Structure 1
Amino acid sequence: MPALRLTRFSSLRAFGHRDFVHVWSGALVSNIGTWMETLALGVFVTTVTGRAEATGGIAALTFLPAVVLSPVGGALADRFDRRVYLAVGTLVQALLAGILTVLAFTGRLSVPAVAVISLLNGCASALSNPAFSALVADIVPPEDLHSAVSLNSAQFNLGRIIGPTLAALVLAAGGPAWALFVNTLSFLAVLVALSRVRSSGRSSSQQREALWPGILRGARVARQDGGIFLAMMGTLAVSALVAPFIGLVPVFAIRVFHQGAAATSLLVAAQGVGAVTAAVMIGPIVEAFGRRRVLEVCLLLIGPMAALYWMAPTLHLAALAIVGLGALYMSTLAGLNTTCQLRAPPDLQARVTSLYSMMLGVGYAGGVWLQGALADRVGVRFVTASSALLLLALVLTQRLLRPRAFDATEAPVSFATAGEPSPAVKLEGGGEF
């Protein structure tokens, strides 16, 4: 199917590609189930333990494996048929979801069990996510990649809107077991979608490359390319200082506003509304002002918006603020991720994407645990708002010391040899936060 050439709604251009529509739809159904599970387990852990550190710790366990396994997943995804690779990872995640469901139905669900399954699920996700991102880059042309990345974020956040709303209803009607059961079934949608994708997304030349040298080659390209390195450091800073607002939503709703699953669902869904709105609007904005400028503005605004959310005096004002925070968070990560993928050689896209995932996992796992632990000691609002303002200080410092560093995110990229950046893109210092 030829790509749609929309001008007014350029954010939707990726929908003109048949394979992308299949992948997008399957991922949406799965993410609805995932967010049902996330809310159910977040409420369960917060209610049982009453500690922000425990809730943040469980959330961190899902992302912690990305620190080690994302580069491995990226190298493997560049060696095998990405559809088959993703199907295997999806089956593993479905099995883990099924175990949680059985434990819940039999009354044996516990915080230690949730912790172990969350860690294993994080391992499966860390190994699979780079292949998913690389497959998306395979099935849309470069000019529609920003649209695809934004729409991917939109479907993730549509799941964030629909999933928690359904979860709140299911929790009220039947308890967490039924929410976990729905999540288990949702993985079937991914398997059906992958069976209908025509592009294999496999680079046969990379099958001969040993695993560890392949990982190192991807890391070397990411370090030498100024735009990719800047995007990696930006991802690390945002994920550590702002992204913990995602995992700490149950803590904010229950401990600050003294409400339960319904308030948690409201905040999670409100973030999703902001993210989906931004995903639809971001294409024309990028075309009008340029990817570099939009990314820089988002990085400047996301810290103050996060602080505004954490300091909101009422639940409804917090819900309003998290709409804006969700929009900025989606736009920021979409810009950072697109920079990494556009500047990476095609045969290294999965590996570079895996390093992006690793930065996201390192920052989020460390940030959500540390902020949760400090929140138990000095207060939720003070810790989280201070972290958000620290990000603003880092971005302002970066702009002051290296005012042209963001130019690297839009500089033309050419490759002298496959996988090696030409001297034109080996910018001094690589950019840093």
Structure 2
Amino acid sequence: MRASVSVGVPPLGLERTGRRLVRFFMAAGVSYYGDWLSTVAIVVLVFRATGSVTAPVLYMLARVAPRVLGPTVGGSLADRFDPARVASICAFAQGALTGSIVLVAQVGAIWAVFLLVVGAQFLNSLAQPAYGALIPRLASPEDLGRANGILTGLFASSMLVSPAIGALVLPRTTPEVLIAIDAGTFLVAALLFLTIRVTPSRHTVSGRTDGAAAGMHVVSREAVLRSAAAGLIGNTAAITALQAVLVVAATQHFGRDIEVGWLYAAVGAGGLLGSVAFLGRATRRVHRRGIVIFSAGELAAFSAFVFVLNLPLACLLLFISSLSSAAYYILGSIALQQRTPIELLGRTTGVMRSAMYIGMLIGAIAALALVQPLGWEATVLIVCAGAFVLLIVATVTGPRPALASTPLSDIPE
């Protein structure tokens, strides 16, 4: 039997809380934009230094692989200490490692660049549970949708704007300049996080609340969170697999590799619109139906994309897929914040972040293993089918504690 708890914290005054929330968005936004700016710069740096087509692939693996390890540790830290301090320390350290990339690149130690990327991305994932733990402390329950929409919108816009800035600036400067700017953005974010103070929660919950496994226990017992986690694993795997072959798809289906720019633009636009949709509405109790529908919708759009030979229609499908992705991600975040005790928010957010990063790894491995023998179309369809099966299994199975809604009663609401 689950304990009944309050997940809120004592209000510190609406005006003060609003200012802290604005500083949180500023810190997160600066960090997001800087990170994606250096993503483009480091790809160019390692490719120019090595002349090898495998170097960018190795860089992407160096970005993704360490993220699987960080959220579990970061979730425990965010629950044990002030999450704003955890985010600040991670930002300071990530800025130092990112700045060091400029130094090692000057002496031609490209192998050290990969090691520094691994360390920086581990710190990135270490900080993410702190972001999730901060939102319910800074936003009122009825504003959770708006807060998560703004945060997701900042991330989506950074994916759209920062690579474009990099493409415009790189012909006129060196990658090291953009990487140094990114290091500076982490310093700014760290200082902003230092200005945020949250009151430690004094709530207690009976049951399994100790250790890193406490977050996994919350997710496994909550039907809505199980579906959200399944969507993060499966759909992120599908996204990663498609991203890995998107330039090939643009060449084979639309005649030119440069058409991939329109495809990425459609993804960014869909993510922004999906985020904006949550800004003007008060938050209601989130049920599993919306998460399942939007997760399945994204997979359906990906599957249809495989068969499309018309560029505008392909862009429309990716627009729909990204809009659906933003919707189920925000709904899943709200559901987590509504259902998780405040002292477990970090660890539970860490579980969900780990699910997303595991999906990235699965998608990357699937692309490497299947594209050559089967082709990119079959690869995308296989990953989408596996993601859909995982979503259905998570939706219709799992613990059904007393007083909890069943999967079938939950979905039709």
Give the TM interval when normalised to the shorter protein. Answer: 0.7 to 0.9
State whether residues 222 and 228 of structure 1, in contact with CA within 8 Å, keep that contact through their aligned partners in structure 2: yes
**Which residues of structure 2 form unaligned runs of 5+?**
1-11
Counterpart for residue 227 of structure 2: 230
1:230 partner amino acid: S
Q: State which drifts further: 299-308 or 151-160.
A: 299-308
Counterpart for residue 134 of structure 1: 133
State the SS of the aligned residue for 1:303. helix
- Please tell me whether residue 215 in structure 1 is matched to residue 193 in structure 2: no
State whether residues 274 and 322 of structure 1, in contact with CA within 8 Å, keep that contact through their aligned partners in structure 2: yes
Q: Report the Cα distance in structure 2 between the residues aligned to 1:314 and 1:338, rounded to whole angstroms.
A: 36
CA shift for structure 1 position 389: 4.1
CA shift for structure 1 position 381: 3.3
Q: State which drifts further: 340-349 or 60-69.
A: 60-69
State the SS of the aligned residue for 1:203. coil
Q: Report the Cα distance in structure 2 between the residues aligned to 1:387 and 1:244, rounded to whole angstroms.
A: 8
Q: Report the Cα distance in structure 2 between the residues aligned to 1:271 and 1:87, rounded to whole angstroms.
A: 30
Counterpart for residue 36 of structure 2: 35
Counterpart for residue 202 of structure 1: 200
**Which residues of structure 1 form unaligned runs of 5+?**
5-14, 207-211, 409-421
CA shift for structure 1 position 335: 1.7
State whether residues 340 and 356 of structure 1, in contact with CA within 8 Å, keep that contact through their aligned partners in structure 2: no
Instruction: Map 1:23-422 onto structure 2 (within 5 A).
Output: 23-42=24-43, 48-51=51-54, 55=56, 58-104=59-105, 106=106, 108=108, 110=110, 112-197=111-196, 199-200=197-198, 202-203=200-201, 213-246=210-243, 266-282=262-278, 291-313=287-309, 318-395=314-391
Q: State which drifts further: 28-37 or 371-380.
A: 371-380
Q: Report the Cα distance in structure 2 between the residues aligned to 1:45 and 1:305, rounded to whole angstroms.
A: 34
State whether residues 64 and 365 of structure 1, in contact with CA within 8 Å, keep that contact through their aligned partners in structure 2: yes
State whether residues 297 and 321 of structure 2, in contact with CA within 8 Å, keep that contact through their aligned partners in structure 1: no
Q: Report the Cα distance in structure 2 between the residues aligned to 1:256 and 1:427, rounded to whole angstroms.
A: 44
Q: Report the Cα distance in structure 2 between the residues aligned to 1:185 and 1:250, rounded to whole angstroms.
A: 32
CA shift for structure 1 position 134: 0.5
Please, what TM-score do these two structures have when normalized by structure 2?
A: 0.80
- C-alpha offsets along residues 85-128 of structure 1, whole Å, 9 cap, x if unaligned? 21110011111211222344x26263x44432332122112221
- C-alpha offsets along residues 275-316 of structure 1, whole Å, 9 cap, x if unaligned? 111111146689799654332221221012123445553666
State whether residues 309 and 318 of structure 1, in contact with CA within 8 Å, keep that contact through their aligned partners in structure 2: yes
Q: Report the Cα distance in structure 1 between the residues aligned to 2:312 and 2:17, rounded to whole angstroms.
A: 38
Q: Report the Cα distance in structure 1 between the residues aligned to 2:241 and 2:18, rounded to whole angstroms.
A: 34
Counterpart for residue 23 of structure 2: 22
State whether residues 90 and 190 of structure 1, in contact with CA within 8 Å, keep that contact through their aligned partners in structure 2: yes
- C-alpha offsets along residues 213-269 of structure 1, whole Å, 9 cap, x if unaligned? 421333223222332233222322222233444565566668987867x76655444
State whether residues 311 and 385 of structure 1, in contact with CA within 8 Å, keep that contact through their aligned partners in structure 2: no
Q: Report the Cα distance in structure 1 between the residues aligned to 2:119 and 2:304, rounded to whole angstroms.
A: 35
Q: Report the Cα distance in structure 2 between the residues aligned to 1:331 and 1:142, rounded to whole angstroms.
A: 18
State whether residues 86 and 131 of structure 1, in contact with CA within 8 Å, keep that contact through their aligned partners in structure 2: yes
Q: Report the Cα distance in structure 2 between the residues aligned to 1:220 and 1:200, rounded to whole angstroms.
A: 26
- C-alpha offsets along residues 308-367 of structure 1, whole Å, 9 cap, x if unaligned? 445553666544433222212111222222222221111111110011111111111222
Given the superposition, is the C-alpha separation of residues 194 and 289 from structure 1 closer, same or farther in structure 2, using an over 3 Å criterion? closer
Counterpart for residue 418 of structure 1: none
Give the count of matched residue pairs.
392
CA shift for structure 1 position 24: 1.0
Please, what TM-score do these two structures have when normalized by structure 1?
A: 0.77
State whether residues 275 and 329 of structure 1, in contact with CA within 8 Å, keep that contact through their aligned partners in structure 2: yes
Q: Report the Cα distance in structure 1 between the residues aligned to 2:245 and 2:40, rounded to whole angstroms.
A: 11
Identity score, percent: 21
State whether residues 64 and 361 of structure 2, in contact with CA within 8 Å, keep that contact through their aligned partners in structure 1: yes
CA shift for structure 1 position 65: 2.9
Counterpart for residue 11 of structure 1: none
Given the superposition, is the C-alpha separation of residues 373 and 44 from structure 1 closer, same or farther in structure 2, using an over 3 Å criterion? farther
2:330 partner amino acid: A
2:299 partner amino acid: G
Counterpart for residue 7 of structure 1: none
2:53 partner amino acid: G
Q: Report the Cα distance in structure 2 between the residues aligned to 1:201 and 1:254, rounded to whole angstroms.
A: 54
CA-based RMSD of the aligned residues comes to 3.7
1:89 partner amino acid: C
State whether residues 59 and 247 of structure 1, in contact with CA within 8 Å, keep that contact through their aligned partners in structure 2: no
CA shift for structure 1 position 34: 1.1
Q: Report the Cα distance in structure 2 between the residues aligned to 1:372 and 1:79, rounded to whole angstroms.
A: 39
Given the superposition, is the C-alpha separation of residues 294 and 228 from structure 1 closer, same or farther in structure 2, using an over 3 Å criterion? closer
Q: Report the Cα distance in structure 2 between the residues aligned to 1:94 and 1:255, rounded to whole angstroms.
A: 40
Q: Report the Cα distance in structure 1 between the residues aligned to 2:316 and 2:34, rounded to whole angstroms.
A: 25
Q: Report the Cα distance in structure 2 between the residues aligned to 1:213 and 1:172, rounded to whole angstroms.
A: 52
